[in-house]
Amino acid sequence: MHVSLTPELEARIKSKVESGLYNNASEVVREALRFMDTHEDWIHEIKLTHLREQLKAGMDQLDRGEGIAIESAAALDALFDDIKH
């Protein structure tokens, strides 16, 4: 397998090897991949929690009567246009 890295990433890997924590670049990459695998579920849960918080805030706004009625696809498009700008 051949992997292309930016000069910055290559320097970071070399720095880890030169620190003595790792014997070679492969060990650094393997450790990084293990870290990603270990923390993937945790990151997913954080994103899910954030989404739930945003949904609750929206539902609270609707409960307070702060929502707006969208009557057509054109009105929805206009709302999205306003959000983008």
Q: Model confidence over 8-39: pLDDT tens digits? A: 999 999 999 999 999 999 999 999 999 999 89
User: For the chain, what is the domain count?
Assistant: 1
Chain segment 34-70, per-residue pLDDT in tens:
999 989 988 999 999 999 999 999 999 999 999 888 9
Burial of 82: CB neighbours in 10 Å, binned 0-12, 13-18, 19+:
exposed
Q: Where are the alpha helices (DSSP H) in the chain?
A: 7-18, 25-63, 73-84
pLDDT at 31: 96
Is residue 2 in a domain?
Answer: no
Q: Is residue 63 part of a domain?
A: yes
Cβ atoms of 19 and 28 within 8 Å: the answer is no
Specify the pTM. 0.51
Element (H, E) at 72: none
32: containing domain? 7-84
pLDDT at 76: 93
Is residue 51 situated within a structural domain? yes
Question: So what's the pLDDT on residue 60?
Answer: 96
